[in-house]
């Protein structure tokens, strides 16, 4: 403390706007993470979201820190809030059971919600994309029941007053509710009907390693941004409009979704 300036941080709370950056599917590629953080305008972000699969699996504490957290701490995580939506790859490996100790949440679970400014955010835990009976797990996990329990929590979470009265309702979930495999179908069947009824405006996902924007439909009544593993998502929500910009590694805005505030 005598050699360096003390670290400081600002908690979430009242604010005229909400700004944050999202990266996902880094899989230990620190050079890509560094590049995307360079383009994120970190100084003006209220927080940063890691939307899953920051490593290939969780083998050890050292692997987790070397894979992305050392870079995060060096760049922002000592003085800026960070939120994590667990990806399917963070469920794998002998150190996966330790993951919740390093990324605690308000609920004590890996699904939770928070509020900043006039924005309500729900973070979901997608679980694994494979069936519980897949050879990768051989029936020793119970992701289906876990997602059912999570859906029961979600029913209550969308009724929280700060979320119900928010001008923007954002959901973050590593796997999108499409793609055809088991886990994605579970999200569609168990989470989406609740989110539809709650008037959610957008879901931010990753997982597919490519950029997709799927517009709202009769089945999913909100747009879904699937951010690629090489792009950055910059979000700026004000009382006038909500902007979700997809930025490539050259700093070019390659796509954008614009929302109107709910009230």
Query: Domain coordinates of the chain in residue numbers?
Result: 18-259
* Global pTM value: 0.95
Q: Where does the pLDDT of residue 226 fall: very low under 50, low under 70, confident under 90, or very high at 90 and above?
A: very high
Q: What is the pLDDT of residues 81-131, one digit of tens each?
A: 999 999 999 999 999 999 999 999 999 999 999 999 999 999 999 999 988
Q: Which of 52, 46, 50, 51 is nearest to 20 (CA)?
A: 46
Query: For residues 183 and 137, is the Cβ–Cβ distance under 8 A?
Result: no
Residue 173: phi, psi to the nearest 5? -150, 125
Upper half-sphere CA count for residue 106 (Cβ side, 13 Å): 11
The Cα–Cα gap between 246 and 231 comes to: 7
The Cα–Cα gap between 157 and 100 comes to: 20
Residue 137 clears pLDDT 80, i.e. is over it:
no
Lowest-confidence segment of 172-181, 220-229, 240-249 by average pLDDT:
172-181
Q: Is 247 exposed, middle or buried (0-12, 13-18, 19+ CB in 10 A)?
A: buried
To 5 degrees, how large is the angle CA 19–CA 23–CA 25?
160
The whole-angstrom distance between residue 98's C-alpha and the CA centroid of its chain comes to: 19
Lowest-confidence segment of 37-46, 126-135, 189-198 by average pLDDT:
126-135
The CATH classification of domain 18-259, taken from the options 3.30.70.20, 3.60.21.10, 1.10.287.3510, 3.20.20.70: 3.60.21.10
pLDDT on residue 138:
64
- What average pLDDT does the chain have? 95
Q: What is the mean pLDDT of residues 142-165?
A: 96
């Amino acid at each position: 403390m005598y050699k360096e300036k003390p670290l400081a941080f600002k908690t979430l709370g009242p604010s005229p706007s909400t700004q944050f950056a999202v990266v996902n599917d880094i899989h230990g590629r620190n050079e890509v993470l560094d590049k995307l953080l360079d383009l994120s305008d970190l100084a003006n972000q209220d927080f940063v979201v890691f939307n899953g699969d920051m490593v290939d699996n969780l083998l050890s504490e050292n692997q987790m820190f070397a894979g992305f957290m050392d870079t995060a701490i060096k760049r922002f995580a000592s003085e800026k809030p960070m939120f994590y939506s667990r990806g399917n790859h963070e469920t794998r490996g002998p150190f996966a059971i330790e993951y919740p100790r390093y990324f605690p949440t308000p609920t004590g679970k890996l699904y939770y919600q928070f509020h900043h400014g006039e924005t309500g955010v729900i973070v979901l835990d997608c679980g694994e994309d494979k069936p519980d009976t897949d050879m990768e797990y051989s029936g020793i996990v119970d992701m289906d029941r876990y997602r059912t329990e999570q859906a029961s929590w979600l029913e209550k979470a969308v009724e929280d007053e700060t979320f119900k009265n928010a001008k923007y309702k954002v959901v973050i979930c590593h796997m999108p509710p499409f793609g055809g495999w088991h886990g994605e179908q579970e999200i569609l069947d168990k989470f989406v009907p609740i989110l539809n009824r709650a008037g959610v405006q957008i879901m931010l996902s990753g997982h597919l390693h490519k950029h997709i924007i799927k517009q709202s439909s009769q089945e999913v009544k909100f747009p879904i941004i699937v951010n690629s593993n090489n792009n950055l998502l910059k979000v700026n929500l004000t009382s006038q409009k909500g902007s979700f910009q997809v930025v490539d590694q050259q700093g070019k805005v390659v796509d954008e979704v614009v929302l109107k505030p709910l009230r």
